[in-house]
Each structure stands twice: as structure tokens, then as C-alpha cells.
Amino acid sequence: MDDDDGYAGPATLTVDGRDLPVQVLLDARHEPQDGKLHWFGRMTLEGDPREPALLRALASTTSRIELSTAAGRSEARIGDLDPWGRYRVTGVGTPPFAVDDPTLDD
């Protein structure tokens, strides 16, 4: 399901080549200080939130992590696990979901 301010729905988290089904709630904002689009949100694994592959990736500085939806794929960083079993997920650049072009008014 798409949300007016981002994306909410199914996604795939790819950790070192292994696909894990997840549910996400994502949004994006243009950051004027660096001129880039930053996307962020929370994701829930469809299974054990302490998935061994994900925990190894979180402990490693060399793991490759990507998040994909039907609209796209982007490199991602995974952060803290909250009390509800959701991980923080962030990225910079083109997000893994469709983003409307900004309205430029003079």
C-alpha cells in the first residue's frame, strides 16, 4: 500500500545476497545541507526479528544491505531494534519507493 508521504507495505531486505521478506513504513526528505534525498523508516521482519543473517550484518562493517519494493531497490543501513521488534532503516539517494517530483514555485 502506498502512503501520501512515503511508502507502507511489503519489501525485501537483501543481506549479503540473502532475501528476507519485510514490512516497511518509509518516508523521504530532501536535506538542504547536503543537497541529497534521505529516506528512512522502520521495518519488521516476517519472522524472528533476531534473524541470524541480519544480526551478523549489523555486527559487520562489510555487509551489503539493500531494500527493495516493486518500485525500486536501494542500498540501506540498518539501525536499532525498537521494543516492538522493528528495525530502523535509512538510506541516501534514490529511495526504494516512488517519490513525487517536488513542486517548484517561484
Residue 55 lies in a domain: yes
| Structural domain contains residue 9 | yes
Cell of 102: 517536488
Whole-model pTM: value is: 0.82
Residue 32 lies in a domain: yes
Q: Which residues pair with 60 in a beta bridge?
A: none
Predicted confidence (pLDDT) per residue in 1-56, tens digit? 444 579 999 999 998 888 889 999 999 999 999 999 999 999 998 877 777 777 77
Structural domain span for residue 78: 2-92
Residue 38: inside a domain: yes
The verdict on residue 99 lying in a domain is no
CA distance 52 to 96: 24
Cα 71 from chain centroid (whole Å): 13
- Say which residues have a Cβ less than 8 Å from residue 10's Cβ, sequence separation at least 6: 21, 22, 23, 24, 69
Query: At residue 104, does pLDDT exceed 50?
Result: no
Q: Decide if 66 is inside a domain.
A: yes
Domain tally, the chain: 1
Q: Give the integer Cα–Cα distance in Å for 68 and 91.
A: 12
In a domain, 78, yes or no: yes
